[in-house]
């Protein structure tokens, strides 16, 4: 079932009501019912594999290899894990009982929240719909999915897949623009899952607060990448370039800017240029391995960020196809004393594109002072063999997650929770963490009746001394 903004808000209200009715039937509480639909989803996805790749290419020239690696394969592996583990993850879990409840047993029950709303972004329009949806289903919920209107071809394929696998009321797709999203947020949901910008995340959080709805917010931020003088520069450049040009830099965990030891800056800049030439050739515009900026608005924003800056590589642009070449900017030496508001715009806002500002630093303390100018980032990357610097970054900086001597690869391990902190996000998911995200953990104590200790009952006057002595066993 699909609706769009051409339909009245009453249609959205009707979809929400149908979801509640479906959930209340209790079908999704049966783990076998969930697994049946997850298996059906896997079969349908495999049939639509080529169409998914084609849709992403039509939306913003995303290379088929990137679609397979960063969208389809990630979804397929996670789906197989959910099918394999759903039954065991859904089982009640025994925990050690409390001594004060003796004699008793304690269990945690995994209970679906109910009706889930998933609002997805445009940058990974297939993966960031399917990953949370699959987990919501595995945990026993029903769901309404709102794909991005900026990737209409992918949204259309998603609709076909979901309609083929799930009956109306179990999972519904709602197509439309920001007005549709706003109308959906005005309705009452049992859980909200949003991926997108921090600006819109605030709107989602405010809407959820009206109904005290639990949320997961997967947002973003300015992710620093630190390179010190001990890093192997050729390998470092190769890994940074890959993380920055995938999806034309339109990745929430891409390195946003580089902080490079002043002793290594010139050599690293040379290595980055060499690697870009190797990866995309002398004319990146002609490369089949390089995506485009999603729309003209984002293209113009990105183009404006490099105006009046020292471009040391790239900078070429073509508005007719929203093409912006991978671009390296030399931003000089960082000065932690300059207020954030006085920095160039490219150092103030999250870039979300193929632009890489490079700053040099003098001391490790300069790094910390600079990063702490910003809100807590979603990711931090460090290329170094220096144990003291590694410990400083890991123990003294707050961020969502990161990698030592690589970029982006923290996302590829489903056993690691993925999420931000502060303005970079709220909550985490992936693998079992996703199942738990979409499950209410209901705590139950089974109290025995064969023994009833009198210590807790009134009158208390003769029991206080005993209780004080007993405290050391708690």
The candidate with the shortest Cα–Cα distance to 457, out of 472, 444, 467, is 467
Query: What token pair was written down for 412?
Result: 């590829």
Q: Provide the CB-side half-sphere exposure for 218 (13 A, CA).
A: 27
Q: Which residues are catalytic?
A: 218
Tokens 């008793």 found at: 104
3-state secondary structure of 337: coil
Which positions ≥6 away from 196 have C-beta within 8 Å?
119, 121, 218, 219
What are the residues facing 357 on neighbouring strands? Answer: 329
The pair of structure tokens assigned to 466 is: 């005993």
5 neighbors 180 (Cβ within 8 angstroms): yes
Contact residues for 470 (Cβ-Cβ < 8 A; gap 6+): none
* Residue 121, C-beta contacts closer than 8 angstroms, at least 6 positions apart: 128, 148, 195, 196
For residue 147, what are its two tokens? Answer: 């794909």
Element (H, E) at 263: none
Residue 92 backbone class (left: φ over 0; alpha: ψ -120 to 50; beta: rest): beta
By DSSP bridging, strand 191-195 and strand 104-112 are unpaired
Distance CA 360, CA 425 (A): 28
Q: What distance in Å separates the CA atoms of residue 271 and residue 233, rounded to the nearest whole number?
A: 7
Beta strand pairing call for 355-361 and 425-426: unpaired
Residues in the chain: 474
Cβ-based burial of 149 (10 A; exposed 0-12, middle 13-18, buried ≥19) = middle
For 40, the token pair is 């059906």
141: nearest Cα among 447, 451, 440: 440
């Amino acid at each position: 079932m699909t609706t769009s903004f051409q339909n009245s808000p009453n249609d959205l209200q009707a979809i929400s009501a149908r979801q509640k009715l479906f959930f209340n039937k209790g079908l999704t509480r049966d783990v076998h019912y969930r697994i049946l639909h997850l298996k059906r989803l896997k079969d349908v996805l495999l049939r639509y594999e080529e169409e998914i790749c084609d849709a992403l290419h039509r939306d913003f020239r995303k290379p088929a290899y990137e679609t397979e690696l960063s969208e389809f394969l990630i979804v397929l592996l996670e789906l197989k894990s959910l099918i394999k583990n759903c039954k065991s993850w859904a089982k009640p879990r025994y925990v050690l009982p409390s001594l004060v409840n003796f004699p008793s047993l304690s269990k945690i029950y995994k209970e679906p929240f109910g009706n889930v709303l998933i609002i997805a972004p445009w940058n990974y329009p297939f993966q960031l719909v399917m990953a949370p949806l699959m987990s919501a289903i595995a945990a026993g919920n029903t769901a309404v999915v709102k794909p991005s209107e900026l990737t209409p071809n992918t949204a259309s394929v998603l609709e076909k897949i979901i309609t083929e696998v799930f009956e109306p009321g179990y999972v519904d797709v709602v197509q439309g623009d920001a007005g549709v999203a706003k109308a959906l947020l005005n309705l009452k949901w049992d859980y909200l899952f949003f991926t997108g910008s921090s600006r819109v995340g605030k709107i989602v959080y405010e809407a959820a607060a009206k109904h005290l709805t639990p949320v997961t917010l997967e947002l973003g931020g300015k992710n620093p990448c630190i390179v010190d003088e001990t890093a192997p520069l050729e390998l470092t450049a190769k890994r940074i370039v890959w993380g920055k040009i995938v999806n034309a830099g339109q990745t929430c965990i891409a390195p946003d800017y580089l902080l490079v030891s002043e002793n290594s800056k010139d050599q690293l800049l040379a290595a980055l240029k060499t690697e870009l030439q190797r990866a995309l050739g002398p004319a990146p515009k002609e490369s089949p391995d390089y995506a485009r900026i999603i729309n003209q608005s984002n293209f113009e924003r990105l183009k404006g960020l490099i105006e009046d800056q020292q471009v040391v590589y790239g900078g070429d642009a073509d508005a007719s196809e929203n093409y912006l070449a991978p671009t390296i900017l030399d931003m000089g030496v960082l000065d932690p004393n300059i207020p954030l508001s006085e920095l160039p715009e490219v150092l103030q806002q999250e870039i979300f594109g193929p632009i890489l500002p490079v700053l040099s630093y003098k001391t490790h303390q300069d790094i910390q002072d600079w990063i702490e100018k910003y809100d807590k980032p979603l990711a931090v990357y460090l290329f170094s063999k220096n144990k003291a610097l590694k410990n400083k970054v890991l123990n003294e900086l707050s961020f969502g997650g990161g990698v030592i001597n690589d970029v982006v690869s923290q996302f590829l391990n489903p056993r690691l929770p993925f999420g931000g902190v502060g303005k970079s996000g709220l909550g985490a998911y992936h693998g079992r963490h996703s199942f738990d995200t979409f499950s209410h953990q209901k705590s139950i104590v089974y109290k025995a009746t064969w023994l009833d200790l009198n210590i807790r009952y009134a009158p208390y006057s003769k029991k206080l001394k005993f209780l004080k002595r007993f405290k050391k066993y708690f």
